[in-house]
Amino acid sequence: MERVGVVGCGLMGAGIAEVAARSGYDVVVVESSTERADAGRGRLEASLRRAETKGKIESADAVLARIRVVTEIEELADRDLVVEAIVEDEAAKTALFRELDRVVTSPDAILASNTSSIPIMKLAVVTSRPSHVLGIHFFNPVPVLKLVELVPSLMTDAETTARARTFAESMGKEPIDCQDRAGFVVNALLIPFILSAIRMFESGFATAEDIDRGLVLGAAHPQGPLALADLIGLDTTKAVAESLYEEFKEQLYAPPPLLARMVEAGLLGRKTGRGFYTYS
């Protein structure tokens, strides 16, 4: 495996492209418009310049030379593995997987999703190669966090999973195995925790600051659940919660009304400058 494709150059897509290129892979990233491609290219360059300044890589230019950011999905035709990293929306992802199945020519190529909650089978069945589809779920920030969740569906063959594990380990990641259930391991545990904190804040039980300080100082968490929701993005938090609720019909997965209103208002956390906290 030498040629990697990534669809989407937002925070997650750019992070995946960066760690792949830093590990020596030839990387093509596809974005939906010239403006988004330019923004993604700038995000990659800024991150790599920081890594070079901190001594984490020898040359940002050498890594950037292994990455092309384009707007034509046909550029993925020769890839050995393609990772989808677009918006957490089932309809958008299934439409993309139909396109990838058409575009990627090698029958042995792996089509992977970075979804944090959508069952992989729903993506695999729209392709002609469900045995070569699985989830490879990275965590934000991708260059820093080592965990990767490997999520084969009922149709994924063992060789595909083994190749995906080798790919993850080649980038210094530590994969864990997950069953194909909405939320996988981490989000199935994390999202109810965050939703509980939102309900506590919504009810007036405690301030956002005190909820977060309680978990940081009392449970040794690196940051509180509301600050973490802002980092993840409240729209993504809501989308994952909805996927979990659809799968399990458990009330603890239902998004609280406050979360829905904040998303409707465009208060999405760090990426918009305001969520449970205000960011400059």
Q: Which residues are catalytic?
A: 116, 137, 149, 187
Asked if 164 and 134 touch (Cβ cutoff 8 Å), the reply is yes
Dihedral sign (CA 101, 107, 113, 118): positive
Q: Reading across the β-sheet that carries 110-113, which strands appear in turn? A: 67-70, 26-30, 3-7, 81-84, 110-113, 133-138, 147-152, 174-177
Nearest CA among 254, 245, 236 for reference residue 199? 254
User: Whole-angstrom Cα distance, residue 16 to residue 112?
Assistant: 12
């199945």: which residue's tokens? 101
Distance from CA of residue 36 to its chain's centroid? 17
The token duo for 130 is 């469900």
Widest CA span of the chain, in angstroms? Answer: 56
Q: What is the spatial distance between Cα 93 and Cα 111, in angstroms, rounded to a whole number?
A: 12
> Beta 26-30 vs 110-113: how paired, if at all?
unpaired
Residue with structure tokens 């391991």?
A: 185
Who contacts 82 (Cβ-Cβ below 8 Å, separation ≥6)? 4, 5, 6, 7, 76, 100, 104, 109, 110, 111, 112
- The first and second tokens of residue 67, run together, are 């990455």
